[in-house]
Amino acid sequence: MLQTDSLKFSYPKGHTFSFPNISCKAEETLLILGNSGTGKTTFLNLIALLLRPSSGELRINNTETANLSEKQITEFRAQNIGIVFQKPYFVNALNVSENLLLANYLGNKALNKSKAAELAKDLGFEYLLSKKVQELSGGEQQRVCIARALMNTPKVILADEPTSALDDENCEKVADLLEKQSKLIGAALIIVTHDHRLKSRFTNQITL
């Protein structure tokens, strides 16, 4: 589902990163590990097409992404990649349901209310759909973020430190949800983490 080959990236006047080649098939989970500052979030942002590499190749769902224009990238990302960011980044003026539907809108897809309701049921937050996002607890926001990442049935799910702020019980719940949902829709799941609890659960790992 996803392969990288010789990806390099430099921040302006910054360090040049050469990332190891990775591949992740449908229904597989890959952990990206490494000490602080080794470039894990940078690597995830390249895979999410939020940054463009200075060289190298990134193939997602049989598409070589280097050939896509900026406009095509926005659409491709919204349709193929679900991102669970470290911070939630909701639109506060919209309620939970509308924040979920926004993912459809950005992916140029019809607004799928029944999918939003189904995901909310699966992730246990049906009762929150008409609430304002800023009224949610941290754990609730996290589940809404996961649902939002799944709204367009992506081929690749990317999660940046999804469990670092959670207690053991919620860490396990979030890991279960991500794993179950990615298998259900046949997506590749890539998680950037420091969390030792995830390291013992997912054995397919790469360290930067």
| Contact flag: residue 14 with ligand ATP (CB under 6 A) | yes
Question: What residues contact residue 196 under an 8 Å CB cut-off, 6+ apart?
Answer: none
Stretch that binds ligand ATP, among 33-41, 94-102, 120-128, 196-204 (CB under 6 A): 33-41
| Contact flag: residue 104 with ligand ATP (CB under 6 A) | no
In the chain, how long is the greatest CA-to-CA distance? 48
| Contact flag: residue 163 with ligand ATP (CB under 6 A) | no
Which of 159, 1, 169 is CA-nearest to residue 80? Answer: 1
The strand order across the sheet containing 81-84 reads 81-84, 156-160, 188-192, 29-33, 205-207
Q: Which residues pair with 189 in a beta bridge?
A: 29, 157
* Least distance from ligand ATP to the Cβ atom of residue 9, Å: 9
Stretch that binds ligand ATP, among 38-46, 60-68, 129-137, 172-180 (CB under 6 A): 38-46
* Least distance from ligand ATP to the Cβ atom of residue 199, Å: 14
| Contact flag: residue 40 with ligand ATP (CB under 6 A) | yes
